[in-house]
């Protein structure tokens, strides 16, 4: 359980994740959860990190991975998302929490799915 939160914002999800990792590197808190949103009207990512004041017993990290692009969100795409997220979780060790960000892919007319993981 936790009741403290720290919010990070920025135009790039990678920069927001970097801010969160700088906070975690201090080792003064134990993270418990993350939440991520992309605010289209502002072109800004918001990452919320839930934590307790206990000093971390282990090092923790927030990472972001672009896992796929899609143009429709039908049953086939949902299966691809499930598979891609499962594969990513298997590759990472000790996932505590994750969230997704979906935004227009800068290199195509499709949507890009990013997974943000707390380990």
pLDDT at 13: 92
Q: What is the pLDDT of residues 44-83, one digit of tens each?
A: 999 999 999 888 788 899 999 999 998 888 889 999 999 9
Domain ranges of the chain: 4-118
pLDDT at 19: 97
For residues 31 and 61, what is the distance between their CA atoms, to the nearest angstrom? 9
Burial class, 49, CB count within 10 angstroms (exposed 0-12 / middle 13-18 / buried 19+): buried
pTM for this predicted structure = 0.86
Burial class, 114, CB count within 10 angstroms (exposed 0-12 / middle 13-18 / buried 19+): buried
Helices (H), 8-110: 13-25, 75-91
Give the CA diameter of the chain. 45
């Amino acid at each position: 359980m936790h009741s403290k939160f720290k919010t990070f914002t920025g135009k790039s999800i990678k920069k927001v994740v970097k801010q969160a990792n700088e906070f975690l590197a201090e080792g003064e808190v134990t993270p418990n959860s993350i939440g991520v949103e992309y605010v289209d009207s502002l072109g800004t990512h918001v990452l919320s990190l839930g934590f307790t004041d206990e000093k971390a017993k282990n090092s923790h990290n927030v990472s972001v991975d672009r896992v796929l692009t899609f143009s429709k969100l039908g049953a086939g795409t949902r299966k691809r998302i499930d598979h891609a997220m499962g594969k990513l979780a298997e590759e990472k060790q000790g996932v505590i929490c994750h969230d997704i960000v979906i935004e227009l892919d800068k290199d195509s007319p499709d949507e890009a799915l990013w997974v943000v993981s707390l380990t």
